[in-house]
Structure formats: C-alpha cells, structure tokens
Amino acid sequence: MSETSSSLTLPDPAPQKTSFSGTLYRGNEGMWSWVLHRITGVAIYFFLLVHVLDTALIRVSPEAYNAVMATYKNPIMGLGETVLVGAVVLHALNGLRVIMVDVWPWATRNQRPLFWIVMGLVVVLMAYFVPNHLINVFSPMEGGH
C-alpha cells in the first residue's frame, strides 16, 4: 500500500468559485481554455480548406480569382473575417500558453492568471485589428476594376 500512495507534497488546489459556475461546463479557466482551443481550431481548419481552394483559382484565370475574392469584400463576409481573425488570435496566444504550461513549472502553477493574460492580449490585438479592418470593409469600393 505504502509504495503506491501519493508522493505529492502539494495539497490539491481547491476548485475556485467563478462566474462560470452553474453553466453547462463546470470547469474553470483551464477547461474554458481547452474548449475555446477546440472550437477555434475546428473553425480555422474548415476556413483553411476553403482558403486554399479559393487561392488555387489564381491558376485558373485572373477573372475567376477576382470573382471569388469579390465575395470576401461583402460587408457580411467582412464581419465574418473579423470573427475568424479573432479565432486565429485566440488559438495562437492560447497555444503559446499551452506550450508554456507544458514546459515551464512557473507557468503550470500560474495557468489560471495566464488564461486571463491571454484574453487581455486578444482584446489588445483585436483593438488594433478590428478598426483597421472594418474601415476597409465599409469603405466604398474603388472603381475602375
């Protein structure tokens, strides 16, 4: 019995009550990090499949490529692109957090504040991207093409 007992010296961390308590997923930051990473990853994967195919039209003709790119310039697609970039930024920064948590004991102990640092950096980067992109999306199309 004694040789199989736990050799951990740290007490198990007590689950913290958060504003997420009572929702369908009962986990704290670590679980939300995992859920968001999966959802954003799947969304980005399916966009990637489409994006390689639309770019492949440069091999067909300039007209074919420009026709499919025109659909990306629609304002509704422009809002979708904003959400997509948000998913990419979140997946990227949370992925770096996952690597840090894996290899760096300090980050393992502080994975919870690191989740909120990731969220803060997503907000900062999107505060840079969103106005720039939406000004382009909602500017009148230049004529002459």
Interface contacts to another protein, rule CB under 8 A? 3-4, 38, 41-42, 44-45, 48-49, 52-53, 55-56, 58-59, 61-63, 65-66, 69, 72-73, 78, 81, 85, 88, 92, 95-96, 98-99, 102, 128-129, 132-133, 135-137, 139, 141-142, 145
Shortest CB 41 distance to another protein, Å: 5
User: Could you tell me the smallest distance in angstroms from the CB atom of residue 47 to another protein?
Assistant: 10
Three-state DSSP at 91 gives: helix
Distances in whole angstroms, Cα of residue 80 to Cα of each of 15, 24, 94, 134: 36, 26, 21, 11
Task: Take residue 44 and report the two structure tokens written for it.
Answer: 């980005």
> Which CB, 32 or 65, lies closer to another protein?
65
Distance of alpha carbon 41 from alpha carbon 88, whole angstroms: 8
Q: How far is the CB of 22 from another protein (least distance, A)?
A: 25
C-alpha 44: how far from its chain's center? 9
Backbone torsions φ then ψ of 24, nearest 5 degrees:
-60, -50
Which residues make Cβ contacts (< 8 Å) with residue 8, sequence separation at least 6? Answer: none
Nearer to another protein, 15 or 56 (CB): 56
Cβ proximity to another protein: between 20 and 65 the closer is 65
Given the complex with another protein, which of 73 and 109 has the nearer CB atom?
A: 73
